[in-house]
């Protein structure tokens, strides 16, 4: 018996918008960079992460072609930076950053940064799954920027 295939793209997007995700910016040599909400840890041994990049994204090809990349986990006061890297503007114009391993730009701020060597690339429908082996981690104090139902959000404390 085959499974029905009647999920509309709009229904699928509406369901997934209920999933709250953190917001990251992925950078690579060029300099190139893009906002990515589809990010996840994959393995502790070896330390692996994955990002999912839409084929239609203008930065898809240079990020996937790079030998390594950096993942910046944004802080709750950085929605403008996320918007900047999600739009077709000159993303690095006037933006302070350093150059790290593999030529990847290292943005300032955020709650964490992971520098990764490309480990594997896999097909995933209309996306490419880019797997990176984490070589360096920087962690800072602060709360992450979240994305839920089409809006940026922050954490709210839970009552104990």
Q: Would residue 99 count as lying in a domain?
A: yes
Q: Would residue 12 count as lying in a domain?
A: no
Nearest Cα to Cα of residue 26 among 148, 128, 113 = 113
CA-CA distance, 74 to 66, in Å (whole number)? 22
pLDDT band at 160 (very low <50, low <70, confident <90, very high): low
Q: Would residue 128 count as lying in a domain?
A: yes
Q: Would residue 46 count as lying in a domain?
A: yes
Name the domain count of the chain.
Answer: 1
Residue 9, pLDDT score? 86
Q: Would residue 152 count as lying in a domain?
A: no
Per-residue pLDDT reduced to its tens digit, 13-63:
889 888 889 999 999 999 999 999 899 999 999 999 999 999 999 999 999
Domain assignment of residue 94, given as a range:
39-144
Nearest Cα to Cα of residue 49 among 74, 29, 71, 33 = 71
Q: Would residue 15 count as lying in a domain?
A: no
CA-CA distance, 118 to 66, in Å (whole number)? 7
Coil vs helix vs strand at 92? coil
């Amino acid at each position: 018996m085959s499974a029905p295939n009647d999920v509309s793209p709009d229904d699928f997007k509406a369901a997934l918008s209920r999933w709250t995700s953190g917001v990251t910016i992925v950078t690579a040599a060029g300099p190139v960079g893009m906002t990515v909400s589809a990010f996840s840890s994959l393995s502790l041994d070896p330390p692996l992460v994955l990002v999912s990049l839409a084929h239609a994204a203008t930065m898809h090809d240079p990020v996937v072609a790079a030998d390594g990349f950096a993942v910046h986990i944004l802080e709750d006061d950085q929605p403008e930076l996320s918007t900047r890297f999600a739009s077709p503007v000159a993303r690095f114009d006037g933006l302070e950053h350093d150059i790290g391993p593999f030529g990847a730009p290292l943005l300032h701020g955020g709650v964490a940064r992971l520098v990764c060597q490309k480990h594997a690339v896999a097909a995933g429908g209309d996306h490419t799954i880019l797997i990176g082996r984490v070589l360096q981690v920087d962690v800072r104090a602060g709360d992450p920027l979240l994305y839920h139902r089409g809006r940026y959000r922050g954490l709210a404390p839970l009552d104990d």
